[in-house]
Amino acid sequence: MAFQVDQDQATVHNHRSVRLHRSGQGRWQAEYGRRLRISDALVVIGSVAGAQLIRFDGLNNDSPLDWAGGARVGYSVISTLLVGAWLGFLALGNAWSTAVIGTGMEEYRRLVAATMRLFGLIAIVSLLLRIEFARGYLAIALPVGLIGLMLNRLAWRKFAARQHRDGRFLTSVLVVGRHDSAREIMRCFERDPAVGYCVVGVYSPYAADDEMTDIEETGLPVLGAESSIIEAVEATGADTVAIAATERLGTTGINDLVWQLSPRGIDLVVSPGVVDVADQRLSIRPVANLPLLHIGRPQYDRAKSFGKAAFDIVFAAAALLAALPVMVAAALAIKLTSRGPVFYRSERIGLDGTAFRMIKFRSMYQDADRDLATLLPDNDGAGPLFKMREDPRVTPVGRILRRYSLDELPQFINVLRGEMSVVGPRPPLRSEVEQYDRKVRRRLLVKPGLTGLWQVSGRSDLSWDESVRLDLSYVENWSMVQDLLIIRKTVFAVARSDGAY
């Protein structure tokens, strides 16, 4: 049964007859955008005024700017023009578009692009007209302003994320698609509540009633053959329609739906049917007015590059040197409080299935592995991974080391040996690898890491499926920027001891 899309074009064009009141998405986004524009303007004004203050010893010291031909203009005028031009370039670059603010790297990219275009234009104009701008003035205004704009966006993102997690500033979504497609897109929204998407209903006219039971159990309304998508939108009060399956709609059906949603102020998003694909692997390639989504190849080969290996060695050496006093103190505490060696060496499986001995500070009593069989019924871990929140084999010192991940510091030695990477999938045991299917074995295409997406997403609290998903996502979408972000997040996760036991 095909999706029911109302073909009444008279309704589409009669904007006045449409009920425009939604759940508030447009109002909070407009307010968010207004505050963002005001704060960006203050950042730009502050950076330009600061540059003039520092370079010319005060705002009242109106040093003149000499043009070719003898014309002279004070820097107070130049600063005013620079502020206006900077804000104009941000507007022309769609830096305040509701499509990008608050999510993804595109927001930051547009800030950088607009700012660099402005200062590139200034450089060209000064060359052509032989205008001698004070280099120190521009050298201060550009970096200070750009960094200030990015920090301003980061602060507003954190504010919006807190509001979303507290149930405010939400975008209500009607999911359209088959049962399995709808469930997948709902899981994606649930995994990242900071984005602020709240599913308020599901529209699936051709799914069997028993297939939708688990969705109905959540309390969400499930609409189908007895209604159209527009009626489902009106019934649920959705701000956005998320299409999780497009094969029944077709190209004309989606176009018709866009025309019907537009006068109602409702957004339309379409899921391509794939998950865990980073934006750098996605591009749109229009062919004869048909937009095709191109998905780039998995990028695991780049994780074996010389650049990543060099970064690992430099970072590991610096980390070992910085952590040396802590490691010495940990070694003494272990040796003085329990019998056995300071280090614990355990076999792990690394790149391409190669075994190596991973080094950690010993956090358990000596020969604790012998008691594993008796503790298996109390396993708190997921899948083939064994974990216990209150493991009786852990020493008092070991609990402290584990809480703040200090027991893992010796793994930097494995990084220097080339057996591990600073960032990568979790290093698995041989017993775990023996249970891997073909899909999960992709984790072995890159070196295991001392930290990774699993470390900054809950660590031991993750389910087995979620741990696998994060590791495979890292393997497929590797980038150096992602590694740096994971390292930064790891510092905060370790400080909060999230999911550590």
Secondary structure of 309-359 in HEC code, one letter for each residue? HHHHHHHHHHHHHHHHHHHHHHHHHHHHHCCCCCEEEEEEECHHHCEEEEE
Specify the pLDDT at position 118.
92
The first and second tokens of residue 263, run together, are 């006068």
Reported as a single tens digit per residue, the pLDDT across 226-262 is 778 888 888 888 888 988 766 666 667 788 888 888 8
Candidate from 143-147, 207-211, 319-323, 348-352 with smallest mean pLDDT: 207-211
β-bridge pairing 222-223 and 197-203: parallel
Band of pLDDT at residue 191, cut at 50, 70 and 90: confident
Domain with CATH 3.40.50.1980 in the chain: 9-20+170-273
Specify the pLDDT at position 13.
37
Reported as a single tens digit per residue, the pLDDT across 432-490 is 888 888 888 999 999 999 999 887 876 656 777 788 888 888 998 888 888 998 998 88
User: What is the crossing angle of helices 75-92 and 25-56, to 10°?
Assistant: 150
Q: By percentage, how much of the chain surpasses pLDDT 70? A: 80
β-bridge pairing 240-243 and 171-176: parallel
Reported as a single tens digit per residue, the pLDDT across 286-338 is 777 777 778 878 888 888 888 899 999 999 999 999 999 999 999 999 999 88
Distance separating alpha carbons of residues 297 and 49, to the nearest angstrom: 47
Reported as a single tens digit per residue, the pLDDT across 67-123 is 555 556 677 888 888 999 999 999 999 888 877 887 777 888 899 999 999 999 988
Residues 148-170 have a mean pLDDT of: 87
Specify the pLDDT at position 160.
86
Residue 198 β-bridge partners: 172
Q: By percentage, how much of the chain surpasses pLDDT 90? A: 26
Distance separating alpha carbons of residues 55 and 294, to the nearest angstrom: 49
How many helices (H) does the chain have, and how many strands (E)?
A: 16, 13
C-alpha dist (Å) from residue 417 to 70, 358, 359, 361: 66, 11, 11, 17
Q: Give residue 220's region: left, alpha or beta (phi > 0; psi -120 to 50).
A: beta
Whole-number mean pLDDT of the chain?
A: 80
Cβ-proximal residues to 256 (8 Å cutoff; 6+ apart), any chain: 5, 6, 7
Residue 21 has pLDDT above 50, yes or no: no
> What 3-state class would DSSP assign to 242?
strand
The first and second tokens of residue 483, run together, are 């590694």
Residue written as tokens 């200062």?
119
Residue 5 has pLDDT above 50, yes or no: no
Specify the pLDDT at position 18.
35
Reported as a single tens digit per residue, the pLDDT across 380-424 is 555 556 566 677 788 889 888 988 889 999 999 999 999 999 999
C-alpha dist (Å) from residue 437 to 354, 440, 499: 17, 5, 26
Q: Check residues 166 and 384 and name the one with the higher pLDDT.
A: 166
Residue 17 has pLDDT above 50, yes or no: no
Residues 32-36 have a mean pLDDT of: 89
Q: May I ask the CATH class of domain 9-20+170-273?
A: alpha beta
Specify the pLDDT at position 76.
80
The first and second tokens of residue 75, run together, are 């820097």
Distance separating alpha carbons of residues 358 and 350, to the nearest angstrom: 10
- The alpha helices in 93-212, defined as continuous H runs, are 106-128, 135-165, 179-191
Specify the pLDDT at position 245.
66
Q: Check residues 229 and 500 and name the one with the higher pLDDT.
A: 229
Residue 223 has pLDDT above 90, yes or no: no
Specify the pLDDT at position 23.
46
Distance separating alpha carbons of residues 23 and 173, to the nearest angstrom: 10
Residue 60 has pLDDT above 70, yes or no: no
Specify the pLDDT at position 497.
63
Q: Check residues 18 and 35 and name the one with the higher pLDDT.
A: 35
